[in-house]
Structure 1
Amino acid sequence: MRITMTCWAVLLVGLALLLFKRDWLLGFFAQTWVQLGASVVLVALAAGWLLMFLNTLAIIRPKYLAPGARIGLTASLLVLAVAITGSMGYGAFVLNKGRETITNVFTSGPAFKPVEGRYNIAVFGADSAGNRDGVRTDSMSLLSVDAKTGKSLLISIPRNMQNAQFSADSPMREIYPDGYDCGNECLFNAIYRDATDNHADLYPDAENPGAQATMDAIEGTTGLKVQSYVMIDMGGFEGFIDAMGGVTVDSGGWVPYNGKAWPNSSVNTHWFAPGVQEFNGKHALWFARSRDFTSDYHRIARQQCLQQAMISQFNPKTILTRFTSLMDAGEELVETDIPQQQLGSFLNLADKARSTPFKRLTLGAPDFGSASDKFSTYPDFEVIHTRIDSLIAAEGESKKSKKSDKDTKKAEPSKTPKSTTPEEPKRNTEPGEIGTAPSDAPTEQNDGSPLTEKYLVTLEQIGRTDLLEKIAANNNDCSVP
């Protein structure tokens, strides 16, 4: 009886914490020792309840009951035994599975504090396919998150960016004091491999010198202190999306991808149509990596969109219903130096970030001129730092504005003051460049019917790639429905 009352008390306290102190509860259960202890307790309780049901059957002695009562009572007790002990056993399995994943993916050590009120995490998309020598960072970005509100700024760095600056305390500055400048070979995505193969001795304490050097370059380029990194394997990405049950985006344009060749044709291009798309893992990966008929800047925008969609749709329901597959896929997806002790605070921020759209910035077209301006080739780092600072400052002004609005409404309920939030800098786009479809881009077939995948394939078969480039020019337009 005492144990039962204790269990009910723990459940009630847990419910109260979930309602009023959810952040503390998430942080508490994100600790591996808590998960281990809770799983042991659940196993013990499951065994205890099973023994109690068996003892109850022995006391009742069903064989002395009437046939109808005997069957009904025995069946009821067995159903209760399976339901209660099974639930506790599954709970122990879930906790232990989560503990194993956290131990395998995250590092040991203390949590780190935000810098100037923000967490800045480098995110790499890595390709280590069997037909490639070593790891190649195909996409690089910096996720800067307000430590209180969860509002996020996602800064994408083109892989072909040149003259990257290293942070002041980076050992890579000894090799490249004026930036990563040695011509077309010194692109941003070459830093990881260069440091791994040639300068690992500069990072004797780092488990991944390539990641550390790339973090230093992101820090020097953006002017924000980079505290940690997450590396996402492209093959693991596909499996993780499938484990989530897919991901949904609203695509603004036609997006090509390579598949099987069409019948009686050498053309193997297929197309995702504009509109809401529900992608499985393979299609999400194709959508994120496509750049046929477009450019790197188009796929950067789609990758930003997919990242936001994944966070928005990675909700408690998904976690509860797909927990085991998500944990298995997560181990194949992520490499990181984020400490286990940090997980609780990051789970809280992720929950806040789910309902808040990212601000997105690309260090190239269309946020810094058009593709023809070649900003990524000849970047102006002072301009980059100023833009980033203004976007972060705008978040702070937005918080102040909302507080001021609330105070004003209390004092003058009949008036609605204008927002003082600064506008986000407008994107610089030109007809035919990223972000817009040129005015002469076909919007229908010659007979007036809507564009179809079959029609686009026909255009490629007859060599009209010029029209396909115009049709695909706005396929960077993507949002989360």
Structure 2
Amino acid sequence: MVYLLLALFTLVQPISVASLSLSVPIPGLPPERIFGLPDRPFIVMVVGLDIRPTQEGPSRTDSILLLRVDADKDRAGILSIPRDTLMQVPLDEGGFTQDRVNTAFVYNWSPDDAGRAPAALGQTIEDNLGLAADYYIVFDQRGAARIIDAAGGVTVVVGEAFGQDNYSDDDVNVVPQYFAEGRQHLNGYQAVAYGRIREGSSDFDRIRRQQQVAEELVAQLSSPLNFWRLPGLGKAYRDVVDTNLSMRETAGLFALLKRIGTDRIVTRSLGDAAVPCLSCQAALLLLDPQEAARLISEAFDDDAAGQTAAQLLVAAGVTP
């Protein structure tokens, strides 16, 4: 599992000085064009995989986040998609099946083509919600822990104490994890566990905790006091992330997000539009089309996108 959408703020590579100097708009030339990013709103799909050290073959996605950046409005939106959401999923051999959105990686994984599974997940989201991802970022839970450690950890406020006696990130080594109520500073392993544990709660609670960690990480990495951490963050990012963003586009994305600022990033979760599928034989979630439309409109400041999503969900037959 991984959440850290704002591992996006570690997209500095070894060119942090350039990214900072070019975060100031040049008159008459939008900064997104400087770095080769689209001169329109664009979406980055951030995917966390639950991969175990002994595992071979494909893995299901544990977290899915869409980041939409609108440079003209100096605005960004984040939309979380619960992994158990029922959608029409394309199959590698052709055709479609109705299954959890997180199975797109399994059905379309290829050891010879790292981009095939992300493309299939992107196609799934576009077919069911009408939201087309321009870029993707993929990493696993251990990669997330490395990035958080390189950032110096994160500080969160735990609303209610919880934990898990048999927590493990590799199905071999058990390290009990407990989080007391109140303010806690977490290292990478602990932060991933904080966003990953579902015992005694739900997937919706996980998503909220993941977003909390992401927001705290963004705030920390946006601070000038952490400038000295950038080389280590860049190395961690390059070592653990699979992406179709070029180095130039990565620097542009970092510059845009720095310019927009955390107070202009709107966060929403489709978990708030999800209801259990009572007629399904497995624990699947269905999206209420009108609630989904509202959340998408709020996250991305785009009423048309919300209504398109509602229409596609109904057409796909994956609504209550």
TM, length-normalised to structure 2: 0.71
Using the TM superposition, give the Cα deviation of residue 253 of structure 1 relative to its aligned residue in structure 2, in angstroms: 1.7
Superposed counterparts of 1:117-196, under 5 Å: 117-136=40-59, 137-164=61-88, 174-176=94-96, 180-181=97-98, 186-196=99-109
5+ residue gaps, structure 1, are 1-13, 32-109, 201-205, 261-266, 396-481
Question: Considering only CA atoms, is the larger Rg found in Structure 1 or Structure 2?
Answer: 1
1:368–1:129 CA distance, 2 compared to 1 (3 A): same
Determine the structure 1 residue equivalent to 2:120.
Answer: 213
- Cα deviation, residue 172, structure 1: 6.5
> Which residue of the other structure, out of 273, 283, 294, is the alignment partner of 1:368?
273
2:36 to 111, 117, 128: 111
Separation in structure 2 between the aligned mates of residue 386 and residue 323 of structure 1, nearest angstrom: 37
Alignment pair present for 1:249 and 2:147: no
Distance change in 2, residues 1:271/1:357 (3 Å)? farther
Distance, in Å, in 1 between the alignment partners of 2:264 and 2:156 is 13
Asked if the contact 2:78/2:299 (under 8 Å) is kept, the reply is no
CA distance in 1, matches of 2:116, 2:132: 17
> Which SS does the other structure have where 1:230 is aligned?
strand
Change (3 A) 1:268 1:242: closer
Contact 2:89 2:104 (8 Å CA) reproduced: no
How many residues matched?
272
Of all paired residues, the percent bearing the same amino acid is 24
- 8 Å contact from structure 1 (residues 128, 134) kept in 2: no
Per-residue displacement from partner, 1:166-187 (whole Å, max 9, x unpaired)? 6xxxx879511xxx31xxxx32
Partner of 1:290: 197
Distance across 1 between alignment mates of 2:177 and 2:254: 38
Cα deviation code 1:103-143 (max 9, x no counterpart): xxxxxxx82415xx422110101132223233422111111
**Inter-CA distance 249–384: structure 2 relative to 1 (3 Å threshold):** same
Conserved 8 A contact 2:275-2:285: no
Distance 2:249 2:268 in 1: 26
Shift of 1:302: 0.9
Give 1:197 shift. Answer: 4.8
Task: Compare 273-282 and 144-153 and name the one that shifted more.
Answer: 144-153
Aligned counterparts of 2:284 and 2:153: Cα–Cα separation in 1:
33
| Alignment equivalent of 1:222, drawn from 124, 129, 152 | 129
RMSD: 3.7
Name the amino acid aligned to 2:95. Answer: I
Deviation at 1:146, TM superposition (A): 2.0
Residue among 297, 309, 316 paired with 1:389: 297
Q: How far, CA to CA, are the matches of 2:274 and 2:142 in structure 1?
A: 33
Q: Cα 1:301–1:357, aligned 2, differ >3 Å: closer, same or farther?
A: farther
Q: What secondary structure does 1:356 align onto?
A: helix
CA drift of 1:228 comes to: 0.7
Q: Aligned AA for 2:106?
A: R
Whole-Å Cα distance in 2 between the matches of residues 334 and 227 of structure 1?
Answer: 17
Distance 1:324 1:378, change over 3 A: closer
**Are the equivalent residues in 2 in contact too, given 1:121–1:228 (CA < 8 A)?**
yes
Greater percentage in strand: 2
Question: Which structure is richer in relative contact order (CA contacts within 8 A, separation 6 or more)?
Answer: 2
Deviation at 1:222, TM superposition (A): 2.6
1:290 Cα deviation from its structure 2 partner: 0.8
In structure 2, distance between residues paired with 1:384 and 1:325: 38
2 CA distance for matches of 1:213 and 1:394? 24
- Residue 322 of structure 1 aligns to a residue in which SS? helix
Decide whether aligned partners of structure 1 residues 128 and 390 sit closer, same or farther in structure 2, where only a CA change above 3 A counts. Answer: closer
How far residue 318 of structure 1 moved from its aligned partner, in angstroms, is 5.2
Contact conserved, 2:23 with 2:258, CA < 8 A, in 1?
no
Q: Could you tell me which residue of structure 2 aligns to residue 356 of structure 1?
A: 263
Preserved CA contact (<8 Å) 1:111 1:339: no
Separation (CA, whole Å) in 2 of partners of 1:286 and 1:345? 31
Deviation of 1:209 after TM superposition, in Å, equals 0.2
How far the C-alpha of 1:219 sits from its partner, in A, is: 2.0
* SS across alignment from 2:292: helix
Deviation of the 1:224 alpha carbon: 1.9
SS at match of 1:164: strand
Aligned counterpart, 1:53: none
Aligned CA distance change for structure 1 residues 252 and 21 (closer, same or farther; 3 Å): closer
